[in-house]
Structure 1
């Protein structure tokens, strides 16, 4: 620790290196969360529809992506799409698309569990008053499923934020990349990676505490 340089931690470090990566990590998390939940909800409804033409492709999509490491999907998309189309795709855009389609598989399973947690009596009640499958999902099942699954959805989003650091594989400038560049430019990699670990821990721990409070409130409502 005698060589540890505390002067490395300064506002200049945040302003020059960290903020740009932090904003991209947040942007990537929000876009992938919203897109993943929307696509995941559709996939969950397809799997629960009982129609083979819809159920089989959705099952293949979900199980297939959940069986592949995210970093491999990031690399495949970034390298293969330009090879197939003949047009280069930006690192940031590639990361956003990859994370959205990948996280959709995980959000789909969460939504499917949430939909199945709704008592079947409510489904039958909706059908009895003449609601179609889509209307039943939209007005009766999904609002309750979202409320029940909200803590789990947010927990998955915290994991998503942590996973954004994997965009280092294609050189995208995220929060971790900002610390890495700062460490290399100043010759202080240990201080940089330690600071990155602390920032990730503080953010994720704070969010996890909020999720716990939300979970208690939802439990009281039930």
Structure 2
């Protein structure tokens, strides 16, 4: 099976499996989505969803968040990894939205990536899910599965993103990146599948004998 054929199988199976693709991070608007994605680095969406209700009650929009002391933000998110750095970034990000963007979340990759704590993946999630701009955010789940499914050589997340954008139609990107995440968490986990076990891996590579060694992002 060629790479394009594997991509078509992945697209068809995931559309059948996950016709609905809700964003797994709880949010109410582009600002709370931006903060939630920033907080999700090196921790689970579930844990982020546990701490953000109180944080967003205290700082539901940039003006209110900017008024919070860094220590107060830290108290809300202390359970998360890198909490001190994230607290600092959240407060400064809110301040910069007020200073540079009239309190609005900017709708460009360049402006988003200029904010503290916001990398390309975070910007891609916000652009795709808040503003509907085609993007293909690549996290560890997607990076791992792209290798297992033979969609990318997996040298780094930048290469994986380029490969996936080349393989799949632009109109599918925003939904597909979530579908891959959902599938990875449910069936093709880091320890639960080595590239030979889950239904997708078996269909794509029915004769695979050796496990796939995942290259780190």
> Same fold by TM (over 0.5)?
no
Q: Relative contact order, CA 8 A, sep 6+: which one is greater?
A: 1
* Higher alpha-carbon Rg: 1
TM-score by length of 2: 0.29
